[in-house]
């Protein structure tokens, strides 16, 4: 059965710290991996990763995919209170169109 596992499930750090969120996947005929940020309402798209070893960056956020070891990480440097959110990882298989989400990592940044 296809699955996506995120760790940790919850994380509390101080403003200015760097955090690494993990996402491992077991997906038949893997196509791509996505990261979303969810604050109070709907998830918003962060990154889509399809190739191993190519880092994607957006400001203080970056992400990379390892297709050999079947995982991805999301890094946030110099964290700010506005980074507090649930971060969702999702995998997209080739064989059909059913996106599989992990349970999310709830990140709380203390001022």
Binding site for another protein (CB under 8 A): 6, 9, 31-32, 34, 41-45, 48, 88, 90, 92, 96-104
- Min CB(16)–another protein separation in Å: 28
- Min CB(48)–another protein separation in Å: 5
- Min CB(103)–another protein separation in Å: 4
Q: Which is nearer to another protein, 14 or 41 (CB)?
A: 41
**Among candidates 48, 68, 50, which has minimal Cα distance to 58?**
48
Q: List 85's β-bridge partners, or say none.
A: 107
Using DSSP, how many helices (H) and how many strands (E) does the chain show? Answer: 0, 11
Q: Which is nearer to another protein, 43 or 79 (CB)?
A: 43
- Min CB(28)–another protein separation in Å: 15
Q: Are 88 and 5 in contact (CB under 8 A)?
A: no
**Residue 45 CB coordination number (10 Å):** 9
Q: Which is nearer to another protein, 29 or 44 (CB)?
A: 44
Q: Are 67 and 30 in contact (CB under 8 A)?
A: yes
Only one residue has tokens 């956020």, namely 61
Q: Which is nearer to another protein, 38 or 62 (CB)?
A: 38
């Amino acid at each position: 059965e296809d699955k996506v596992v995120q760790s940790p499930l919850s994380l509390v750090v101080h403003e200015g710290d760097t955090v690494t969120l993990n996402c491992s996947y077991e997906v038949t005929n893997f196509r791509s991996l996505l990261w979303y940020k969810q604050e109070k309402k709907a998830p918003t798209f962060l990154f889509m990763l399809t190739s191993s070893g190519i880092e994607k960056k957006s400001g203080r956020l970056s992400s990379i995919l390892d297709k050999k070891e079947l995982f991805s990480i999301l890094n946030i440097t110099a964290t700010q209170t506005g980074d507090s959110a649930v971060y969702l990882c999702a995998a997209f298989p080739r064989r059909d169109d059913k996106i599989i989400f992990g349970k999310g990592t709830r990140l709380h940044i203390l001022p």
